[in-house]
Amino acid sequence: MSWRESFIGRRYYSVLERWILPWMKKREFTPNRITISGMIFAVMVPVGFSAHPFWGFLLLALAGIADSADGLLARETGLKSSFGGFLDSSLDRVSDTFFIMGFWVLFWLDGRWMLEATIMVLLALMFINLISYVKARAEAAGISCEVGLMGRTSRVVYMLVWAFLLIIFPWSMEGLLWIGLTIFILACAFTAGQRVVHVRTQLADI
């Protein structure tokens, strides 16, 4: 079951469609403008985390809402375009980088085990990009590749939960950072493997 089909996902998109999209339409937002706004929020995530995990969480949430709303608005207003999809996917890669950089900033503020933390964050980035690259190559070959544990929406939800735990358990921040990053890397590596296997299976059928 996908995130959108889950109970929380259905409630989340219901709120978007009932409250957020009408507000955006009244102010004549375009899908591409929302996409760019989401990237701007994402770029500010490390700055937010440097001030306090709450601000990082808030900016991450705003970027996630924008990422969900641009596609919905495009479909509802008939402004869906090939360039809009291209722009959204391209800027998602920028946002992914700044999201994980936000957590790296917390390691940096702690000041310990920085080399190890930096290596693990780079591993996380590698697997995030691999997940997206495998999907892009699969779709270029005419294969749908939405499978996997940690698709983009799931990654954003994971990071929101991770950031929320850092807010409510500040005395356990160091442990939560390491545990959260380790699980994130393993889940992303597993997802990349799932997609490679899926593509291999589909190509074997051709």
Assess contact for 32 and 42: CB atoms under 8 A: no
Question: What is the Cβ-side half-sphere exposure of residue 18, based on CA atoms within 13 angstroms?
Answer: 6
Place of tokens 């800027």: 91
Point out the catalytic residue in the list 70, 92, 110, 205: 92
Q: Tokens representing 118? A: 């930096």
Known active-site residue 205 = no
Q: How far apart are CA 93 and CA 110, in angstroms?
A: 27
Q: How far apart are CA 153 and CA 4, in angstroms?
A: 9
Question: What is the Cβ-side half-sphere exposure of residue 144, based on CA atoms within 13 angstroms?
Answer: 2
Q: How far apart are CA 59 and CA 143, in angstroms?
A: 34
Assess contact for 72 and 17: CB atoms under 8 A: yes
Q: How far apart are CA 178 and CA 115, in angstroms?
A: 13
**Where in 151-199 does DSSP place strands (E)?**
none
- By annotation, the residues acting in catalysis are 92
